Amino acid sequence: MKSLKLYIIALSCLLLIYLVAQYNRPKPVDWTTSLNINDKIPYGTYILYHNINDIFPKASVKTFSEPVYNVINDHEIKHGTYIIICEAINLTEYDYAKLKQYISSGNDVFIAASYFGEQFKKNLKIETRIEFGDASATPIKFAGKYLDTTKLYNTNRSTSKGYFTSVDTLKALVLGKNTHQHVNFVKYPMGKGTLFLNANPLMFTNFSLLSQTGAAYAATALSFTKNDNNLIWDRYYTEGRDDDGSSMRVFLRNTSLRWAFYITFFSLLFFVLYEIKRRQRIIPVIEPQANETLGFVTVVGQVYYEKRDNANIAHKKVLYLLEHLRDHYRLKTNKLDNEFTDTLSKKTGIDSQFAASLVNAVNFISVQQHVTSEELIKLNKLIENFYSQSGYNGK
């Protein structure tokens, strides 16, 4: 027991030392593409979200963690600029129809994504692709008669490499290209509103906005939309629904906490296995009790079979039957006549002819000194049929 305490103390000290070292070590840069408004990592959108009123001064910002259809339909959103910045968006047929209806009623929707899904491909004939080669070789620029089309925007990292492989210029107006002349920013007029699609969502992240050119690009691109009083910010396509998360999921996102959990879990597992090996006693095997009643019945049956005393067996079966009639049906069995037969038929529910056959057989056996095997079998069948017809189950 003393060695066990020393083991636990030593393990706890090692675990504490490890956690302190992990907590104080320099944290590596997390380049995960989250596009989450609460993430301050390079590819989060914390800066853009918390400074969005610099671009939309009048706007009241509302965030939603639901699909497009649910946001517009269930929350009865009538007016507002809708912003979706995500790595991939794949609308359903109903989402796309509801979004198109929302735009046609006079609202602007801005979507920046690397993948736009099947509905945009089917209805707008657009697909995205990534430029190959060094990131610094693909600066981007705006296209339009009111903008400086010679000014290049580049963050020297893979934030501006996305583009559309094809654009239907009959439906869309090109707002931006890269230096390879590939279109990466378009707008689609729909009814009274406009849909804006941008193929470079990383240009709106913290990393991009910390540079002068990146901040200028994000502000200019979003300025194409209406400066509406209502601003709808999507979180569904970056985080999922609010109820999709769990405490364990949040716990494991932190590297230090994740390793602490792993060490604690496996230490406890090792401790349990060690204790099982040390303290588990051998469980004795207990033989089940033998069925003595079954053995007794077998012995008695064998004795009767060897003696061939049919009369004794028949008389005992008659006595048991008469006792059963007295106990269960309150019948007087001292005189087995026609009156008894009629009463037996009524109280037990058996057929009157069968009752007469049974009574006759009982009367016959009761006066016999010698009973043949055939007579014994006939009597036994009559008694068994009686029990069956009267509903007696032997209990």
* Between residues 53 and 393, the one the model is more confident about: 53
Position 222 scores a pLDDT of: 95
Instruction: Inform me whether the pLDDT recorded for 295 exceeds 80.
Output: no
Which domains does the chain possess?
46-245 (3.40.50), 306-390 (no CATH)
pLDDT tens figures, 100-141: 999 999 999 999 999 999 999 999 999 999 988 765 668 999
- Tell me the average pLDDT of the chain: 84
Instruction: Inform me whether the pLDDT recorded for 282 exceeds 70.
Output: no
Where residue 378 falls among pLDDT bands split at 50, 70, 90? confident
pTM: predicted TM-score of the whole model, two decimal places: 0.59
Position 292 scores a pLDDT of: 60
Instruction: Inform me whether the pLDDT recorded for 296 exceeds 70.
Output: no
Query: How many residues in total does the chain contain?
Result: 395
Position 8 scores a pLDDT of: 76
Position 248 scores a pLDDT of: 62
pLDDT tens figures, 50-73: 999 999 998 899 999 999 999 999
pLDDT tens figures, 147-175: 888 899 987 777 889 999 988 888 899 99
Where residue 331 falls among pLDDT bands split at 50, 70, 90? confident
pLDDT tens figures, 209-264: 999 999 999 999 999 998 888 999 999 999 887 655 555 655 665 667 777 888 88
Position 369 scores a pLDDT of: 82
